[in-house]
Amino acid sequence: MYTSEAMTHARVTDIEIVEDFSASARCDEGFLQIRRLRARNHRADGSLSPIYRIDVVDRPRLDAVAVLVYRTSATGDLEFLTRDNLRPAAHFRREKMPAVPDGRSHLHCEEIVAGLVELDDVGEAGVRYRASEEVAEEVGFQVSAEKIELLGAPFFVAPGIISEKIFLCAVEVTGLEQTTPKGDGTPLEEGGVTRWWSAAALRNACLQGEVQDAKTELALNRFLAERDEDPA
């Protein structure tokens, strides 16, 4: 595994809660919007279920892209890029009681490049364009949309809760210069560090829990399966 320097600002060591305004906030404001619904099921025999509650979480944009950035090393081996991202929601697990404590803070989570698909990103061409933009923004590689490869069909993350689907993609950056990424200007992208992994090292990190991001593991496995690669 090869680690680069922090991309923007110094490394973040903690998050201070300045205010918790959960009790006064509307559920339809903020980055995540929650629809609290009462519903009932219509059955094939014409009967109805009891009325029950449903909570649906939506983001500002319906879907997202996730991009497996890879290169071929001087020895001919494939290497894959992740970014160590600040992840408050995972970090605040420390305030709760997990089924199996792991002793970690999860302040940062290792992930592949990802971002929301914008309203102007229409069709597969739009997905490829958004993927190329996120690669430039998050890890500093300039790639054309035509170089983006789709890795199968999009998937739901948690269809019982959130409406979002993720489009998995891959792009090769062998021989390209990595520049300092511009980021999105928010504190959530402070102190990001990128890492190159061999296929075996990244797969093992996912299996052992060093990398705990599902889209990263799924993208790697789809990529290797399409090429009939054995990372061992």
CA distance 192 to 5: 9
Question: Positive or negative, the Cα torsion across 207, 210, 31, 80?
Answer: negative
**Segment-wise mean pLDDT, segments of 10 residues, the chain, 232 residues:** 60 85 83 90 96 90 94 93 89 84 84 91 92 93 96 93 93 92 77 90 94 95 87 66
Q: Which two tokens stand for residue 182?
A: 């511009």
Task: Give the pLDDT score at 32.
Answer: 84
CA distance 67 to 54: 32
49 within domain boundaries: no
231 within domain boundaries: no
Task: Give the pLDDT score at 47.
Answer: 96
CATH of the domain at 87: 3.90.79.10
Number of domains in the chain: 1
25 within domain boundaries: no
Q: Which residues contact 121 (CB under 8 A, 6 or more apart)?
A: 127, 129, 130
The helix (H) or strand (E) run that includes residue 216 is helix 214-226
CA distance 83 to 193: 6
Range of the domain at 117: 2-18+62-226
Query: Could you tell me the end-to-end alpha-carbon distance of the chain, in angstroms, rounded to an integer?
Result: 15
Distance of CA 54 to the CA centre of its chain: 25
Q: Which residues contact 144 (CB under 8 A, 6 or more apart)?
A: 132
| 58-103 pLDDT, tens digit each | 887 889 999 999 999 989 999 999 999 888 888 888 888 888 888 7
78 within domain boundaries: yes
Question: Rounded to two decimals, what is the model's pTM?
Answer: 0.89
Q: Which of 68, 20, 98, 84 is nearest to 169 (CA)?
A: 68
Task: Give the pLDDT score at 124.
Answer: 92
Task: Give the pLDDT score at 99.
Answer: 87
CB 91 within 8 Å of CB 15: yes
26 within domain boundaries: no
138 within domain boundaries: yes
